[in-house]
Structure 1
Amino acid sequence: MSFCHPLDPTPGQADSDPLLRNASDGIHILDRNGNVIEASDSFCRMLGYSREEVIGMNVLQWEAHFRDRQEIIQVITDQLSTDSRSEFQTKHRRKDGSVFDVEVSGCPVRLGGDLVLFNSSRDITERLRVQREMELMQFITDHLAEGVSISDERGRLVYVNKAFVESLGYARDAVLSMRIGDFDPNYREESWPRHWEDLKRNGSLTFETTHRTRSGETIPVEIAANYIRYGGQEYNCAYVRYIAARKTMEQEVRIAATAFESQVGMLITDENANILRVNGAFTRITGYSAAEVIGRNPRILHSGRQSPDFYKALWQGVEDSGYWSGELWNRRKNGELFAEHLTITAVKDGDGRVTNYVGSLSDITPTKKTEEEIQRLVLYDPLTNLPNRRMLMDRLQVALAAAARTGRAGALLFIDLDNFKIVNDTRGHAVGDWLLQQVGNRLASEVREDDTVARLGGDEFIVMLQNLAVTQADASERAAAVAEKIIRSLAVPFVSAESRFLCTPSIGVTLFQDGRAPPEELLKQADIAMYEAKKSGRNTLKFYDRKVQEAITARVTLEAELRRAIEANEFALHYQVKVDRRGQPVGAEALIRWCHPARGIVPPAQFIPLLEETGLIIPAGLWILDTACRQVKRWEERDETRDLVLAINVSAKQFHQPDFVDQVRKVVARHAIDPQRLELEITESVLLDDTEAVIAAMRALRQYGVRLALDDFGTGYSSLNYLRKLPLNVMKIDQSFVQELGPDTSEGAIVQTIIAMAKILDLVVVAEGVETRSQKQYLDDWGCARYQGYLFGRPMPIEQFEASLPGRSLAAT
């Protein structure tokens, strides 16, 4: 406390001032010579004098730091000459001669016209003692290898030692601004109150957690937390042990224990290998109690199955590296042999001399006994207990060799259950698993003992038939007979406690005889035949046909080449002109062509269906859209072509993409074209799924300005009800109607109806496939507005297309 009276008291006022007399700190008023003219009771008690003795005393009578009167006078003069409060530490001497530390705070005031010094002395003996203890504690804890931290009840750090700071990698000030949750990833704010209460109740807690360092690394630690009260406050004093090395060792032990799945016996011997101590696991494993083996050599366990050379090599390994680990056979007290995993470690003193050996032994007899079961798990399907794919392939390899040697053919039956997925999805996997087990049992009951029934996975089974016949014809007949028997067997309902199930199979059959086809190829052939059975209506069998495989191989090759073509930009657009009734170009349709590096131009019919099937139509369609918009931009830059409309085909799969409308907008915006110069042609198949969503997307495109055309009208599922709802610009008459036009043909009647209906709906009609003048004339007479077909121009590259337009060549540069 510092004391400076705000008024200029008159003589005698200080004497009666209760604030002065009752102040908690040692208040004393000194004149210029250092004599006491007034003092508080607390100051008198502090020095051990009575008030009467203190009044009039000179500061030198209690000051233990300043010995010289002149030095004291100078200090007082300096204090009186300043307008601010001054503070310093010194020592006071009590009446009994004892010296104590004080902190003096003073300021000048006027008293009765005289300038005097109001001083306040505070005993800081305890504070300095605590400070020295803290410094000593900091010094000691900073030399500990363990981390030390003190946190308050809210988890805020108030003290840390050097090891703790260095472990986190931050500066000490940064650490002291943290809470526990800032570096302990396992800290949970909601569980901290319960943790704090547990700590208060128990006094201490020991647990493991991790700390996250500044670099982001997590290090394992063991925390010994202690509840302490100090200065009326509650704290958690935590000792942090860094246990990364221990954790690594523990992990290795856990891995070993898990691998062996057994308890570990321990024995400790002296340097002569005489047993000093064993644990309970040793007794359980060997049958010997501690009393029976202490003082004896572990050779009492020898089974006689290891030679003397084995033990010589064992001990040589311990001598060379201090460690040996391996398997051996030992004998229990009751004479029973058991397999053991033994680890021997030499314990050495500071001079490198062996003082003890520590042995850890595990009974791995159960593990040895389960090797057969493990082998079974490797080779058998755990659900049905049938051979799995691995065992099947092994047996098939043997069967191929036997067939090549004897000349007697065998067969593979690839069995896939029809509609099994429905059972799994509707009745649950437990029922599905039960059904697979029942199917496996029936299949096994329908074949000979030498044949093999295997489960590949899911609902796929394989039956391998051996030694069927010498001729392929007889072998085929017998294989078919087995397959038919399996179909009849599986046709019998499967009855459980709750339900009955019908389960039909599709079976693919392939024969083997000369051993030339490898097992994987035979499996592939049977798989292909099985899919042919599914295509044929299911619940039937099909033999492998090489032509089917060739078609599948060609399709796979074509798909791979298509994927490469997209990446290598092998596609191009060809353009077919659209004209008005006067034969003047009004636009074009952009048609994709594949420029194969080896086969040249690939007809669309050969690759577009595969694009659809594989989903590659999505990236291909986006490429078409982008390329078409780029071409429209070029046309807009020329007077001769700025009014042309370019149409592209959009597949149903592409149109149903959730972001298709956004894709169109982005591409149009990127090329900065007039959206009315782009026309999207869709077929009626687009409307088969989620019609309302399709119409909404079409309206969004139409609102944006993109033109919409209904392609191949009349060939799909046209409905006047939905047709009137579609925001179309154009209706295209399919070429199949145009090719058969005549005055009295049904096609003519249909075309006239389409044109009349389009006029009612205010749609532009485009006739596709116009190849003759007579076709054009009929269409003219019936009011058709636009034409497209070989009569006006074939699809052609952009250079040829622009050169064919009226006027000069406009080939793109």
Structure 2
Amino acid sequence: MRAAILAGVGPKIALGATSGQWVGVGAIYSHYPVQLWTVLMIVMLLVVLLIHSMRTRAKLAQSFASVQQIAEQLQLSTHKLAYMVATSPTVLFAMKVHTNTLQTHWISDNLTRITGYTQDEALQPRWWVQHLHEEDKTRVLKESSELFLGHHLAYEYRFIHKNGEVRWIHDQQQLVCDGQGRPYEVLSAWTDITERKQEEINLRIAATAFETKEGIIITDCNNRIIRVNSAFTRLTGYSLEEVLGQTPALLSSGRQNADFYRAMWTALKENQHWEGEIWNRRKNGEIYPEWLVITAVLDEHQKVSHYVATFFDISERKAAEQSIRNLAFYDPLTNLPNRRLMLERLGLALLSCKRSNHYGALMFMDLDRFKVLNDTQGHDVGDQLLIEVAARLQSCVREDDLVARLGGDEFVVMLENLSESQTDAAIQAQTVAKKIRDAVAATYWLASGVVHDDKPLLEHHCSISIGLVLFHDYTVSKKELLNHADMAMYQAKHAGRDAIRMFDPDMQSALNERTALEIYLRHALTRNELFLYYQVQVDVQGRAVSAEALVRWDQPERGWISPANFIPLAEETGLILVIGDWVLLQGCKTLAQWAQHPATRELKLAVNVSARQFRQDHFVDQVRTALEQSGANPTKLKLEITESLIMDNLEDTVAKMHAIKQLGVGFSMDDFGTGYSSLSYLQRMPLDQLKIDQTFVRNLVEDSQDAAIIRIILALGLTVIAEGVETEVQWNYLNQCGCPVFQGYLFGKPVPLSEFEAEVFKNYQQQQQDLDKRLEQF
């Protein structure tokens, strides 16, 4: 059938026939069956190959496009990786292993940014070893050799940056081996961990600081405790678990009122800081004083995130303060206030009377014939009587009134808040005086000698003479009031003892004198009646090291007037402001003059500054102006201020002192030991020197209390000068106690400038001559 079809429809082909003859396909097929089949198979095979080739070409074209896309993606990834490496804190190294050495052959591009060195520099032999920190080099080289034992190594060391800085490196190394397990290459990744190391150091420092001897409390912004240190537990008795989530109110003693805490929180809100003395309660219920400092911690939005409070127990300091106070202000025999405290209280009472318009009364009293009892029965019996009299005096007055012992058998009673009427106040004071007289007159039973059960007590009777004076304001000074009361007491003695006398107003001639003195004082400066005198201050070898400038008044009609008379008057009238400014300027001019001569250029000069003068708003500018106008060296100027000035408006005082200290001027606290200064506040003062008051120096040999106070002051750790040194005994005692500077009549009285300089020049010349002689001998 297949041959018939081919014969019927196929073309005629001239193949193998004679010329002119056409042979059909079927004929050909029948004539050449094998050959034709072979041709057809070849043709079909070629067609198949052609189709396969076309398909393969299409696939190759598609594969080529994919390869090209992969190459582009690979190139993009390579760029990204290069960027990441360049900006990474990690430097990559590749090192070939050659026998026992490593040779770096590739380094990432961020090397320079991390270490400062170029890739060419880092490829130099021993570059890595040469820049290892000397303290780490031995350890690192030893550790690096262990890489071939474990295939992986990670360690940290210090590396020297090209600019000389020390950088911390975390180095991770991986050993790569070939097919036979032989070391082939080492891959290393350096990471700069300098900041992390610094943070670790800071954390260690913070942790060490946190475990200080001071208690530390950390609260959140809601004042809830989140952390305390071990010192907190030691000081309060509470553990962290007991206080966690509580507020510091857990420690409250109840001694501070709501106003105290309101002021504290106001300061924290305004200044993010508060510090001061506070009383708190331990877990065992004990109430104790502490010095507390609170600081607010602000977040990035300047809002409070935490509060940090540090505190330390100041019980011992308070005890020392109380010890000084007791020695300085209380009579050790009767525990009554002494003269110093009485005068302080009298000054406050005068101010109170002026504000309230009420009268007060001062009584000066003396036991009659007390000396007879002392001489016949001995001092022990006399002391018993004094103690009993003190108790009886206290029982006769109100709690707010004052009973003081001045010494010996002399007592003072001060009454406050009497009537606004002078007559009624006098009657009230006399009523109390009569009550005191009757109480003192009652029988005493005193132990005489060694006390035995069968030995009877000594019966004793005594009386008391009382002088009384009323006071209403500051028109009469404290000293004058005491003098008036003393005069009235002697009137009582002359009246036959056991009597009460009031001061006679006719005796107030001193008040008239004061009025006249004020008029003269107002013209003293303009008439050039004021002068500066200079009193030398010496070291332990008696050499002049400084001087104190003291104002003196030569009134043409009255002669020389004591500073004790006109300085208090100047304070009260405000004239001290003009006088003080003049003294300051003259003192600076003197310093400028001294700087021109080798004998005086090293001397310092102390200038007294009154409280009223210091409290002026522009006082710092006054000091600056005086220094600028005179050309004086500020480091040679020393301003003497009093304890009372420091304790009045403490914050303003400290601020002014710091401002003046920045000018180079020093500070000395005058009359130290006679006021109420707290050691806690004293530490806040930028003081250069403490001046022991002459009242302590005067009786230091005879009075053990004054000697004890001096030793305590010298132990405070500040430079000290003792004034009022008048005898060799006093000087030797102070020398033995370690006092470095002295002032007093033993070394020189206050003298005019010319006389002072002449003495200094003479001593200087003598010292130079002595030096020359020693040099010649040498």
Task: Give the structure-1-normalised TM-score.
Answer: 0.33
Higher relative contact order (CA 8 A, sep 6+): 2
| More helix by percentage | 2
